[in-house]
Amino acid sequence: MATGPGTAGSGADREDPKNEQLEAFRAHPAQDLLTTDQGVRIDDTDNSLRVGERGPTLLEDFQAREKLTHFDHERIPERVVHARGSAAYGYFEAYASLADLTCADFLSEAGLRTPVFVRFSTVQGPRGSADTVRDVRGFATKFYTREGNYDLVGNNMPVFFIQDAIKFPDFVHAVKPEPHNEMPTGGTAHDTFWDFCSLQPESTHMLMWAMSDRAIPRSLRMMQGFGVHTFRFVTADGRGTFVKFHWRPKLGVASQVWDEAQITAGKDPDFHRRDLWEAIEGGDYPEWELGVQLVAEQDETGFDFDILDATKLIPEEEVPVRVIGRMVLDRNPENFFAETEQAAFHTANVVPGIDFSNDPLLQGRNFSYLDTQLIRLGGPNFSQLPVNRPIADVNHNHRDGYGQQVIHSGTSYAPNSLNGDNPHQAGQDRQPGVFQHYQQRVDGDTIRKRSGSFSDHYSQATLFWNSMADWEKQHIVQAFRFELGKVENRAIRKRMVDNLTHVDHGLASAVAAGIGVDVPEQTGTANHGRSSAALSQQNLLPGDPGTRKVALLAADGVDVASAAALQSLLKQHSVTVEVLAAHDGSLHDGNGEGTLPVTRALPTTASVLYDAVVVAGGAESARTLAADPDTRRFVEEAWRHGKPIGALDGGAYVLPPYGPADPAGLSDSSDSRTPTASDLQEGVVVAAPGENGVDDFADAFLAALAAHRFPDRPPVLT
C-alpha cells in the first residue's frame, strides 16, 4: 500500500479490488538516480549541453529535448463542460437484494460492496475557476461492478435546462463565457445565457433550481445527487420498471449564502475541493444513501407530465423514494491528472439489469460521452487508463489505436476457428451476467417533433416556488435580481420577467422591481397552489452538526481552560474548533495557567471559511479583540451570513450587539456584561459564568450549528 501525500488513512486499508488493481500502476517516489524516458542515468538536469560556457545549446542534447518536449505536451483539452472537478474513491453497499426489480449484480445482495469513483464538478467554468460560483454541480459515479463498469452521471439538481440533446450545443454556447470577451468565468450572469433561457421556456423549472441555494452548496458532501433521467431496471427474465435515482447526503443539504459564496471564491477558490480532500484525509468520510423512485411500465403515462421529460421530476408525494444502499467516499486520489482528470464517464456504461428510457436528452447523451473522450483522451483506448479500467475481465477484438497498452496475441475477429471462436458471444438467450437490451415495442413515423406531453413548462417551476420557505424565496428573488441585473440588454430582462409571470406573479413582480423592469400584469397562468415538502432545503437539514468547522477568536490573556474544554467537547461531535489569533504560535493565559496553540493566523484565513464563530473568554483577550478591526469584521461577516455566533465568558463583549466601540468600557469582571438569554438574537449563544458554563454552552452551540443558518436574524447589525 502506498503512503504519503494523497493516500488516505484507514479507508485505503479495506478490502478493495479496484485499489488493488490501481496499485499495479502506481509509481512511488524513486529512491534512485534520475534517468531519461529510456532509463539512461543522467548526471545533470539543470544545465543544457552547450558549446563553451556562454555558447549556444546543441541539438544533440537529447536530455533537454526530451524534457522540454514532454513538458510541452503535458496538457490535454479540458472537458467542454464540467471542466472543474474533484473526485474520490469509496464503496457502494447494497442494503438488500433487488432481484425482484433488477438483475444488476451490485444490487443483488445485502452488504455487497462495490468500489466506486465519484467526480463532483461545476459546469460553466474552466479547470481553474472558483468552486463557489452559482452553478449546477455534477455528481458522476463510476461503480466498478463485477459485471463491468456502471456510470451514473448525475447532477445535484433533479431536472435539466432542455428536453432534447440536440439543443445541448446551443445551451452550452449560451451559458459559457461570451464569445467575444470570454466573460464571465464560472457564472451565468450574462446576456447570452439569459437570452437563450428567456427564449426557451422549457428551461424555467431548472432556472428556479439554479437561482435557489442549491446552486451554492456549502460542501460537496452536503449535496443531493440525481440521475435526472428516467432509467429502467430490468429483471433476469426481462421485466422492466422505470427508475429515477437519488443520492441523499448523510450530512443533510446545506448551502452558503450568495454574499458568502462570492467572498469565498476569492478567499479560497478551492473551498469545495479542499473541504472534500480534508474530510477524507481526516477520516470524516462523506456518505450518501442511494434511493430509487419506481414506476411500473403500465403507469408510464399516468402522470400530469411525461416521465421521459428531463425538465420534470416525479414529486416524492406521488412516488416515494425507496432507499436501497449507501455510498462512502474514503480515499483520495493520488494523482489529480492521472485519476480525476483522466476519468471518463459515460451514460451508456450500463450493466445487466440497468437500461435506458426513451428520454431524448438521455438518448443524445448516450452518443456524446463516448465521442467527447475520443478527443479529450486522445483515442479509443482510454478505458485502459487505470482509473477507467473495469475490475471485470475485458475480452474483445478491439485492437490498436493511440496509446494501446495491451500486447494482444492471437486472432482479433469473429467468427474465428484459430482461437476456438473466442472470445465467444453469449448468444441471445438470457443468461446471468450478460447484458441484454430491454425489449420494447416501438412503432411510429419518422418525425422531428417534440411530444405534446412535454409542453407544460411552468407547473413544476411553480411547484418548486410554492415549496420554498420564506427565506428560500427571498434568496431566489435576490438571485434573479443579481443575474438579470447584470444583463445589459433590457429586452432580455423583460422577456425573462414575462416568463416568470407564468411561475408566480409575486415572484415576477419582486424580480421586476429590482431590475428596472415594469411590474408585469397578472397573466392567465394562475398559481396552482400545490407544493412538495421534499423540495425545500428547510426540510433537508441534517440535525447533526458533525464535520462543521468553528473559528475560536482569541488573543493573549485568553481563558485557556474554557477554550480547551470547548475544543474537546465539540470534537466529540466531530466538530473542529480552530483557534485564530492575530499571529501564529501560541497565546498566553490571562491567569498564567498555560498557553493555547494558535491554529491559524487571522490574516491567512477568513470568516467565510467557517461555519460558525466563537469569541474566547478572558477579559484581556476580549479587550484586544474588540479593538481589532479584523476581528470585528470576522464576526460581523459571520453575523451577516446568518451563522451561529457564540461567546465564552467575557467574550460576549466582542459580539456585535453588545460590544461598545470603546473597549476601555470593559470592566475587569466581565460577569456583569453577560447578556441574558432573552437579550440574545437567534443563533447567538453566550456562556453563562460558572462551572457548567462551557458544557451548557457546548450543548446550545451544537444545536445552533445543526440549524446551519438563522435567516430570520436581522442581517444588519444594530
Q: Which positions are annotated as active-site residues?
A: 82, 155
Nearer to ligand HDE, 313 or 566 (CB): 313
Residue with cell 486499508: 13
Cβ–Cβ < 8 Å for 551, 634: yes
Q: What are phi and psi of 91, to 5 degrees?
A: -145, 155
Nearer to ligand HDE, 221 or 623 (CB): 221
Q: Which residues bind ligand HDE (CB under 6 A)?
A: 79-82, 85, 119, 121, 138, 140, 153-155, 160, 165, 168, 228, 310, 343, 345, 361, 364-365, 368-369, 372
Closest among 286, 271, 152 to 217, alpha carbons compared: 271
For the bound state, the minimum distance from the C-beta of residue 369 to ligand HDE, rounded and expressed in Å, comes to 4
Q: Give dist(CA 197, CA 185) in Å, integer.
A: 19
Residue type, 112: L
Label residue 477 exposed, middle or buried (CB < 10 Å: 0-12, 13-18, 19+): buried
For residue 534 the three cell numbers come to 421534499
Residue type, 4: G
Tell me which H or E stretch contains 550.
Answer: strand 549-553
For the bound state, the minimum distance from the C-beta of residue 362 to ligand HDE, rounded and expressed in Å, comes to 7
Nearer to ligand HDE, 70 or 173 (CB): 173
Residue type, 142: K
For the bound state, the minimum distance from the C-beta of residue 336 to ligand HDE, rounded and expressed in Å, comes to 13
Residue number with the smallest Cβ distance to ligand HDE: 138
Nearer to ligand HDE, 105 or 341 (CB): 341
For the bound state, the minimum distance from the C-beta of residue 12 to ligand HDE, rounded and expressed in Å, comes to 22
Closest among 616, 542, 544 to 578, alpha carbons compared: 616
For the bound state, the minimum distance from the C-beta of residue 561 to ligand HDE, rounded and expressed in Å, comes to 48
Q: What are phi and psi of 364, to 5 degrees?
A: -70, -40
For residue 521 the three cell numbers come to 400584469
Closest among 326, 306, 158 to 244, alpha carbons compared: 158
Nearer to ligand HDE, 390 or 542 (CB): 390
For the bound state, the minimum distance from the C-beta of residue 306 to ligand HDE, rounded and expressed in Å, comes to 16
For the bound state, the minimum distance from the C-beta of residue 364 to ligand HDE, rounded and expressed in Å, comes to 4
Q: 240-249 and 225-226: which strand pairing?
A: antiparallel
For residue 594 the three cell numbers come to 498555560
Alpha helices in 117-180 (DSSP H): 168-175
Nearer to ligand HDE, 175 or 263 (CB): 175
What ranges make up the beta strands (E) of 146-234?
A: 148-155, 225-226, 231-234
For residue 82 the three cell numbers come to 464540467
Cis peptide bond upstream of 184, omega within 30: yes
For the bound state, the minimum distance from the C-beta of residue 462 to ligand HDE, rounded and expressed in Å, comes to 22
Residue type, 615: V
Nearer to ligand HDE, 270 or 498 (CB): 270
| Residues 6 or more apart in contact with residue 313 via CB below 8 angstroms | 158, 159, 226, 244, 460
